[in-house]
Structure 1
C-alpha cells in the first residue's frame, strides 16, 4: 500500500512514517524543515530509506505530484505553535491547506483519508467527561482553524472516504515538545505554577499510530470523529512527579500563583506579536498549567477496537532514555 503523510517531518508524522515502513508500506513523506527538530527527523527518515518531498500544503501543484498512486492519506501538517504570525497564517495552512489536500486526494482516487485534528477544539477546560458529542468551544486561533478544517473534511465525505481523529497531548521517543519540561525537572529548575490539579490524558505516540491505522483500515471508522487519548487521567502534579522519577531527580517544593504568569503572557503577546517576535511566554504555553481534560474513550474502543497499551510511567522512561541517547538530556 502507498501512503502519503503530510507533516511527515514532525514528531507524530515521522513516527508514523517509520512505523509504516515497518509494516511494509511505501511511504511518501511530505513535510518541511522549518526547525532543527524537523531537520533531524528528515535525516532519520532518509536514513530509513525514505526520500521526503519538501513542500507546503498551501502548494496545490506539489500535492498533486506527491499524491500520484497514493492509496491512503494521513493529513497531519498544521500551523500550531507559531506565536509570532498573523491569524491568516493559521487559516491558510490549517483550513485552505486541508482543502488542498482533500481536493488533490479526491482527484488522485485516494481510498482512505485520515485527518489529524486536535482535542484543542474543546477549548480551555470542560466540566465532566468529554466525548465526541461534547460541543467544541476552541479558545485560540489554532483550535478555531482546526475545527473549521474538520468542517471542510466533512464537506468531502460524499466524495472521499474520510475519518477525523482528535489527537490528545502526545509524547514518547522523538518528542521535543516536552523536552524543556524534562530538562527543567532534571536540573531542578521546574516549579509548579498554580495548584497543579488540572487534568491530562496523554497518549504515547506508538499508541496513537496504532489508533490512526485503525482509523484508516476499519469500515466502521468511515465518516466518524474519534478522540484518540491515553489510558490514564493524570493531574499536572502527578505528571511531573512521574517525569521526576524517570529522570531520577526530586521535584522542588516551590509553587507560584497562576495569575501573574497569565497576566505576563497576555502583555508579552500584545507587545511582541505586532513586532513579529516570538514572545518568551504566551497563553498557549500556560495551557499546561490551565487546561483540564478527562475523556470517555468508549467510541474509539467500540468502533475502532482501539485500546492504548502504554502507561505513562513506562512511556516517560522510554522518552527519558531516548533524550539521553540523543544527548538532549
Structure 2
C-alpha cells in the first residue's frame, strides 16, 4: 500500500502529528483538525501536510474523498471521559460510525483504530493478552471497550485492525498538546528543561509499560503494509513494565546536565511488575526497539527551545 492515500483522523494531536510526519515519507497523508490553533496551523504549514476540518459533533461524513486507509486517533481522552462519560461515548461512536461508513461506501479500504490498554481495567493480571476478560473501572476504558465492540461486530470488521496502546511517549511535533500536556513523561522532560530537576508526586515504585513513539509508528507502518492481521485486536506496548523511577532515571540520563530527582508518597494500582503480551504484532514482523532516552533527549530539547 506504499504511496497510497491515508487519512489520520485526529492526526494533528500529540502522537498523531508525529505519526503523520513519519508516514508522509511514503504515503500521501492528510489529517483532520477540529479547531485551528496557531501551533497546529504552523506545524501543518511547515510540513506541507493536507488538513480537513472535522468535528464529530456536527459532521457525519469524513472529509477529503477516498483513501487507501484511515487511522482513527480521535477517541475521547481520559479527562473528557471522566468529566462526561455520556458525551465521550457519543463522540467516540460518532467518529467510529463515520469511519465505518467510509469503509462500507468504498471510500477507504482499511481502518486502523486506536483504542487503549485501559480496557483491561486496573492491575488484574501478571500478563495481559488480548483475549482475557475486560473489567474497565474508569469511563475512559469503558468508552473505548464499547467502541471496540461495535467495530468488531460490524459487517466490515474484516478490514479493521484495533490497537490497544499502553503508555506511548515521545517528543511533541508542536506546542499545542491539549490534555496530553499533563502526561508524566512530558511533565518530567519539561521540568528538566526549565529547572534541571525532576519532582514526582508518586514514590517511583509504580509500574507502567512505556512505549516510545518510534515503536508505535513502526507498528502502524507494519500494519499498513501487511496483507494479513486485519479483523484483529493487538496490544501495542514495550512488552514489559518498568517503574516510574526507571522512567525518571532514563529521562535524567538524557539530560544535558546532571539532574536531581525527588519522589513523593503517591501510589496507584500498578505496584507489581507485569507483562503485556505483544506476540500478535510480533507475528507480523514488528519488534519494539526504540529508546526512551532518545525520545527524552528530543523532548527536553523541544521544551528548552
Q: Identify whether the pair has TM-score above 0.5, normalized to the shorter chain.
A: yes
Tell me which residue corresponds to 2:66: 69
* Contact 1:130 1:296 (C-alpha < 8 Å) held by counterparts: yes
Distance in 1, Cα, partners of 2:69 & 2:263: 49
Asked if 1:217 corresponds to 2:225, the answer is: yes
Give the gaps of 5 or more residues in structure 2.
174-180
**Contact persistence 1:72–1:110 (CA under 8 A):** yes
What is the CA-CA distance between 1:189 and the residue it aligns to? 6.5
How far apart in 1 are the matches of 2:157 and 2:295?
39
Match of 1:181 among 188, 193, 207: 188
1:265-297 Cα shifts (integer Å, max 9, x gaps): xxxxxxxxxxxxxxxxxxxxx78x879753122
Match of 1:237 in 2: 245
SS in 1 for 2:150: helix
Give the aligned partner of residue 176 of structure 2.
Answer: none
Q: Normalised by the size of structure 2, how large is the TM-score?
A: 0.84
| Alignment correspondent of 2:281 | 300
Measure, in 2, the Cα distance between the counterparts of 1:252 and 1:210: 32
Tell me which protein shows more strand as a share of its residues: 2
Segments of 5+ residues of structure 1 without an aligned counterpart are: 259-285
- Cα distance in 2, alignment partners of residues 234 and 319 from structure 1: 20
Residue 221 of structure 1 deviates from its aligned partner by: 0.9
Between 1:111-120 and 1:192-201, the stretch displaced more is 192-201
**Conserved? CA contact 2:75–2:114, under 8 Å:** no
Secondary structure of residue in 2 paired with 1:57: coil
Structure 2 distance, partners of 1:92, 1:291, is 35
Q: Count residues in correspondence.
A: 290
Q: Which runs of 4+ in 1 moved over 6 A?
A: 289-292
Question: What is the alpha-carbon distance in structure 2 between the residues aligned to residue 194 and residue 59 of structure 1?
Answer: 40
Alignment of 1:154-303 (within 5 A): 154-158=152-156, 161-174=159-172, 176=181, 177=183, 178-185=185-192, 187=195, 190-230=198-238, 233-247=241-255, 248-258=257-267, 293-302=274-283
Structure-2 separation of matches of 1:310 and 1:54: 33
Query: Which runs of structure 2 are paired with 1:32-181 in the superposition (5 Å)?
Result: 32-33=34-35, 39-63=38-62, 65-66=63-64, 68-83=65-80, 85-158=83-156, 161-174=159-172, 176=181, 177=183, 178-181=185-188
Structure 1 residues 94 and 293: alpha-carbon distance in aligned structure 2, compared to 1, 3 A threshold = farther
Whether the 8 Å CA contact 2:12–2:40 is kept in 1: the answer is: yes
SS at match of 2:45: helix
Alpha-carbon offset, residue 32 of structure 1: 2.1
- Match for residue 269 of structure 1? none
Contact 1:9 1:33 in 2 (8 A): no
Structure 1 pair 208/291, CA: closer, same or farther in 2 (3 Å)? farther
Secondary structure of 1:219's partner? coil
SS of the residue corresponding to residue 164 of structure 1 reads strand
Q: Is the 8 A contact 1:72 1:111 kept in 2?
A: yes
Counterpart among 8, 11, 26 of residue 11 in structure 2: 8
